[in-house]
Chains A and B, each alone.
Chain A
Amino acid sequence: MTIKEKQKEVIGEFAAFDDWMDKYSLLIELGNELDSFDEVHRQPQNLIEGCQSKVWLHAELNDGEIVFQGDSDAIIVKGIVALLLRVLSGHTPDEILESELFFIDEIGLKEHLSPTRSNGLVAMVKQIKAYALAFKAKMG
């Protein structure tokens, strides 16, 4: 699936819920189900410290595709991390660099990606793109 298709799939899943609390229940569930973060990667250079919560992000290049691992100390943030990884992990640097993230907005979680919400997510998205750029340069 392309990044765009994955985003549409996520939007479809969230569309089933009208109530905010149900949307957040789903996020919490996704956070709880996120693959556990490899402890060897829990290093200061992988830590994105927001004012409110922390995010860890690790990236590896695997056959030309970037595989991300992520984590957060706040479960709602972790749920959003899970969504971002589902959408962006396993794609080539070019695909990631060309992608436009619209699903966060569409499912009504825009506030969590606003620069004033210092939960580490904005920096995480920037970091994902930075990894893509770096890996692209490396691949020549």
Chain B
Amino acid sequence: MAFDIRKIRADFPILSQEVNGKPLVYFDNAATTQKPLAVIDAEAGVYKTINSNIHRGVHHLSNVCTEAFEDARKKVAGFINADSSDEIIFTRGTTESVNLLSFSFGETFLKEGDEVILTEMEHHSNIVPWQLLAQRRGVAIKVVPVTDNGELDMQVFGELLNEKTRLVAVAHISNVMGTINPVEEIIALAHAADVPVMIDGAQAIHHLPVDVQKLNSDFYVFSGHKMYAPTGVGVLYGKRKWLEMMKPYQGGGEMIDKVSFSGTTFNDLPYKFEAGTPNYAGVIGLGAAIDYLQEQGLEEIWAYEHELFEYAKEKMQTVPGMRFVGQTANHTSVISFLLGHSHPFDVGTLLDKLGFALRTGHHCAQPLMDRFQISGTVRASFAFYNTKEEVDRLVEALLRVGSMLS
């Protein structure tokens, strides 16, 4: 235990409540993480003290608020080691980041007959925007299959890359299984074929230190709400050379240079992609979340979560009928499982009555469910505020639920 878990739990007020008369055990962190007081206070603080529309006014509040907003952008840039904060585009979340990219990159660079490579383990939000693009522009989508143990079939990936490929968009970490994909290798292979790569970091950003320059990824997208920040904020990181060439996504205020009915010119990066008043309070909250994560230390968080994951894996394996879905050596703290022949909905419903928050269903990854020929799984996903005691309680609850449903 690298850090004081009691102190950390005290930072998250939501954790100390009861659900259905039982102490809450929150194991749905891959869906969204809880927020520390530092983040809640930062966002509320905006409305209490500096609320004002940013980049607009000459007055004091507007200047302070703008400064806090841009300060958060610098924090994000530093957090992922972007070359410049101009490469950080704020969005509503990962989903909007992917939609922005598929639209702007697609409208700028793609034509009929071009190909985009995705994988079978993508979240729907990294599938459907590309399908919309495919319909719009006659682009073909190629899919890297997943092996039985839940890894990408890298041989097929190599074969799919060809002179028609224009972009590869792949999850850093599977939201269902927790598999860490070999993104360095994917990027190297793609770049060797002159193809840029987007990494969906929604499930990675709060678990692993991410260095976009070292990764050499062309685009990297993630959400605030999965990294202990407020909901409604996301990031699209893009290399300047791509972002500068790309057409804007949405039109409106802020993203323009000059507007007239004979023609409008667009603002510089990053504003070109940030039409309208952004969620500045959320962005400032995101900055506070980054401060908080850095205080705890990403390496320490990774070590703690990994220990908890290994412990949970070992203990959960002892439950009769336990079947893990997707077990690879390279893994984050996510366990997707099935309990005997029980339906995930039944397992999740009974666990809820015992105070556990777990996710059940297809996890917005129906192609992956089809791949494994299952309708869904139960997913336990851990964060650094979870404890071994909570895992023990889950195992106890699973034994009870298993015997009720068998």
Chain A contact residues, CB within 8 Å of chain B: 20-21, 24-25, 28, 51-54, 73-77, 119
Closest to B343 in A: A74
Which of A20, A28, A52, A75 lies in contact with B361, CB distance below 8 A? Answer: A52
Which of A21, A51, A74 lies in contact with B346, CB distance below 8 A? Answer: A74
Which of A20, A21, A25, A53 lies in contact with B343, CB distance below 8 A? Answer: A53
> B349, A76: Cβ atoms under 8 Å?
yes
How far is A27 from B297 in the complex, measured between Cα atoms in Å? 47
Interface size for B (C-beta < 8 A) is 18
CB contacts (< 8 Å) of B342 on chain A: these are 75
Closest to B348 in A: A52
Chain B contact residues, CB within 8 Å of chain A: 20, 342-346, 349-350, 353-354, 360-362, 375-376, 400, 404-405
> B20, A20: Cβ atoms under 8 Å?
yes
How far is A54 from B346 in the complex, measured between Cα atoms in Å? 12
CB contacts (< 8 Å) of B345 on chain A: these are 52-53, 74, 76-77, 119
B378: shortest Cβ distance to chain A, in Å?
11
A20: shortest Cβ distance to chain B, in Å?
4
Closest to A120 in B: B345
> A75, B343: Cβ atoms under 8 Å?
yes
Nearest 5 A-B pairs (CB), nearest first? A74-B343, A20-B353, A74-B345, A52-B345, A53-B345
Q: A52-B344, A52-B376 are in contact. List 16 more A-B contacts (CB 8 A).
A: A20-B20, A21-B353, A21-B404, A24-B349, A24-B350, A24-B404, A25-B404, A28-B404, A51-B362, A52-B361, A54-B375, A74-B346, A75-B343, A75-B346, A76-B345, A119-B345
CB contacts (< 8 Å) of A25 on chain B: these are 404
> A24, B353: Cβ atoms under 8 Å?
yes
Closest to B362 in A: A51
How far is A52 from B352 in the complex, measured between Cα atoms in Å? 15
Closest to A77 in B: B345
Which of A20, A51, A53, A75 lies in contact with B405, CB distance below 8 A? Answer: A75
